[in-house]
Amino acid sequence: MKNHSERQITRIIYSSWDFQQALSSITFLLEECDFEKKYNKIELRKFRCFESNFIISMSRPFQKSRGETTLSLKAFKSNITREEQKLIDKILTIRNKIIAHSDESEMYFKSDLISIDEDLDFPILKFKETLNFEEEDYIQIEILLKKFLYNISKFLYTYSKENPDLFKKFKTPKNL
């Protein structure tokens, strides 16, 4: 097997945790959301919370963090299809333009004024409360995450047999 640096192995390990978090969020969403049902704003926001966590967690391995390396899918022998790459690209775009940053080109809102009395108009704001993906997209992303996790596990198992010293440690945050 190709030699990987300790930082690359650590990134793969962290990516496994990120993908597990993303998968859990999608699982919770699919268990609780009936995509044929109408929901009130509060219920929709709960689903958006699951979706936002999934997007953040799944995006982490593909984003540079403080100059560190991003995850290379080739590092753990995970080939993806064109359709899977489109899903990843959409996830990263939503993360970058909606979830992590409020990019005006991607944000939705409607505002209006309601007259309370003759001298008082009160602003009413409405935002997009729907999910960014369809049910079928979540199912495909769930399959992709399971594929990534399987390939990471398989890679780490094989790599650890050849490099056991990289796996016998307890890593803790530096500043906590």
Place of tokens 């309601």: 114
Distance CA 15, CA 2 (A): 19
Alpha helix stretches (DSSP H) within 33-127: 41-59, 82-94
Give 110's strand partners.
Answer: 126
* 59 contacts 92 by C-beta, under 8 angstroms: yes
Look-up of token digits 């409020």: 102
pTM score of the predicted model: 0.82
Q: Is 19 helix (H, G, I), strand (E, B) or coil?
A: helix
Residue 105: predicted pLDDT: 63
Which residues are within 8 A (CB) of 18 and not within 5 positions of it... i.e. 6 or more apart? 57, 58, 60, 61
Residue-wise pLDDT for 153-166, tens only, equals 998 998 889 888 87
Say whether 97 sits in a helix, a strand or coil: helix
- Nearest partner of 75 among 126, 29, 25, 9, judged by Cα: 9
- pLDDT tens digits, 62-118: 877 656 666 666 666 678 889 998 999 999 999 988 887 776 666 677 888 899 888
Residue tagged 């399987």 (tokens): 150
Reading the block at residue 176, the tokens are 């906590």
Phi, psi (5° rounding) for residue 74? -65, -25
User: C-alpha angle with apex 170: 165 to 173, nearest 5 degrees?
Assistant: 130
Give yes or no for residue 1 having a pLDDT over 60: no
Looking at 13-135, which runs of residues are DSSP E strands?
109-117, 120-127
